[in-house]
Structure 1
Amino acid sequence: MELLTTPFEVSFVFRALLAGGCAAVLCACIGTWVVLRGLAFFGDAMSHGMLPGVAVAALLGGNLMLGAAVSALVMSLGVVAVSRTSRLSQDVGIGLQFITMLSLGVVLVSHSGSFAVDLTAFLFGDVLGVTTRDVVVIAVAAVVGVGACAVAHRPFTALTFDERKAHTLGLRPGVAHLGMLVLVALATVASFRVVGTLLVFGLLIGPPATALLLVRGIGRVMVTAAVIGVAQVYLGLVVSWYAETAAGATVTLLGGVGFLAVLAVKTLLCRVGSRTANENHYQ
């Protein structure tokens, strides 16, 4: 048992657990809608689209999270605007916003030769460097995100499974869609401080996708994904402590490995069950 608790006797590792746990709960709830609606590409694009805001904030000596939030909001509104004013699919709009924002960020970063270290932290995160203030911010974001998912559960469900019915019921699917994109931005902005923009995708997609293999029902999926996400953060920090690996990358890696393991076991059980059923049929 000491092997599982010793790392968290160190204050910065314990803060990392608190911040990572809050980020996992936030990403589990919002990530469930991302997976169900097929918005995974948007989540990935959002993680890169924050770069211009972060770059400007760093160059001006401002708050990186605030810069990321502004950039994420601009990208969310841009995706909606392109989809509504053109005949192009949403994926095309997301791709255009993605490459534009990412290129702009790289251009801005290229003007500062001293931005390399900050950019590395932005891309890969620094979960062991989170402060008490970071923990509070992520916790507040988690409360807001989970609360928003609860309040908007009905319009989000209608939008996900039957957009025409959402129109009929007066649930304003356009507003619901924008709200969902804003929540994805919230999860991405709040979590990038923990695992970085390149790895936040793992927390947003991994646990919900794994949960969908195990349970049915949106509420159950969210709860299961939250449990998986928190466990992923905990085990990732323990493994990184003893293996001396990058904490954020280890956390995200466990999410991918966990999904593949559950998928493999479920596939094997289905094949065994199918074979047994066939044998009983012929007997």
Structure 2
Amino acid sequence: MEFLSSPVEWWVEPFVANTFMRNALWSALLAVLTTSTVGTWVVLRGMNFLGDALAHGVLPGIAIAFILGGDTTVGALVAALAMVAGINIIRRHSPLPDDSSIGLLFVGFLALAVVIMSSSSGAYSGDLTRFLFGSITGVTNRDLVRQLIVAGITITGVVLLHRAFLVMTFDVVQARLFGFRPELAHAALLILLAFSIVASFQAVGNLLVFAFLVAPPSAAAMLIRRIPMIMAIAVVFGSVSVVVGLLISYHYGTAAGATMALGAVGLFLITLLIRALSGAYNIRFAT
């Protein structure tokens, strides 16, 4: 119970005494900021499968960039945008449901990543595990600057397109009547989703970014109905998960990305329990 008996040493000292912990904290908070704001629309529009597919879809770009000695962030972004373009093309020209096109690209991109990683060129090029599960303790100042830029682009896009996303989420026909173009708005949302995933994979890893994309907004959406407040509460939930997860990882030697993601899922389950108890006792949350 050191977190209670020695609160300063347990909660504060790791961030004060270690530069890598401070960088990790800033990186994870930036990841939460982007994933929580974009993730709110992912949750409200029922795009969870798409978010998962896109999170895995960046793997081929990461693998190719890593083998060629290039920038993995650029590789991830190119792969993500390629998948967004593929989803929109198949969606426009195929009679198949959206889930089918997403599933096909999901499998195709994931298989391509496995083939690249298992090839003779990729087998001895280094350890790609850190791209799957995160390498947050290795974040540099350059990574933080790049992440801050991507976060700024993502937040700006969410703010500017808020009204279009709002109308499109609840009534596509009404969106057209108001002069919005749902297809373009959907494509813009996918691009912002791609940016948020690319900005976050360094912090929590490609396979765990989905937890931050879905868990905090889902928990917030159970308590509040106003979308800006859902985003704000989701950022708070994600930030709590980040701080607690990083400290548990530091003190007990667990994987940082997985611990933070587990904390986000744990907060969702706690919120679900609170929601269930509030229903039993007729407690109303703010709308």
- Short-chain TM bin: over 0.9
1:162 corresponds to 2:161: no
2:67 is matched with which residue? 59
Aligned residue type for 2:81: L
2:3 is matched with which residue? none
5 Å matches for 1:42-191?
42-111=50-119, 112-115=122-125, 117=127, 119-191=128-200
% identity of equivalent residues:
41
Q: How far apart in 2 are the matches of 1:110 and 1:243?
A: 33
Q: CA deviation at 1:273?
A: 3.0
> SS of 2:249's equivalent?
helix
* Deviation sequence 1:5-30 (CA, Å, 0-9, x none): 01102000100000100110111110
1:22 is matched with which residue? 30
Q: How far apart in 2 are the matches of 1:244 and 1:109?
A: 28
Q: CA deviation at 1:35?
A: 0.3
Q: How far apart in 2 are the matches of 1:262 and 1:158?
A: 27
Aligned residue type for 1:254: G
Confirm or deny: 8 A CA contact 2:154 2:196 kept in the other structure. Answer: yes
1:232 corresponds to 2:241: yes
1:202 is matched with which residue? 211
* Deviation sequence 1:105-160 (CA, Å, 0-9, x none): 1111111212451x201110011111111111111111111111010011111111
Aligned residue type for 2:124: S
> SS of 1:214's equivalent?
coil
1:277 is matched with which residue? none
Q: CA deviation at 1:162?
A: 0.4
2:272 is matched with which residue? 263
Q: How far apart in 2 are the matches of 1:137 and 1:257?
A: 30
* Deviation sequence 1:29-86 (CA, Å, 0-9, x none): 1000000111111111111111111111111110001000000000001001101101
Q: How far apart in 1 are the matches of 2:125 and 2:266?
A: 33
Aligned residue type for 1:133: R
Q: How far apart in 1 are the matches of 2:97 and 2:262?
A: 32
1:4 corresponds to 2:11: yes
> SS of 1:273's equivalent?
coil
* TM-score, scaled relative to structure 2: 0.93
Aligned residue type for 1:260: L
Q: CA RMSD in A?
A: 1.1
Q: How far apart in 1 are the matches of 2:225 and 2:252?
A: 36
Number of aligned residue pairs: 273
* TM-score, scaled relative to structure 1: 0.94
Q: CA deviation at 1:269?
A: 2.2
Aligned residue type for 1:68: A
Q: Which runs of 5+ in 2 are unaligned?
A: 1-6
Q: Of 205, 208, 212, which residue of structure 1 is paired with 2:221?
A: 212
Q: Of 253, 256, 271, which residue of structure 2 is paired with 1:247?
A: 256
Q: How far apart in 2 are the matches of 1:35 and 1:273?
A: 25
Q: How far apart in 2 are the matches of 1:269 and 1:180?
A: 34
1:35 corresponds to 2:46: no
Q: How far apart in 1 are the matches of 2:265 and 2:212?
A: 9
Q: How far apart in 1 are the matches of 2:125 and 2:197?
A: 21
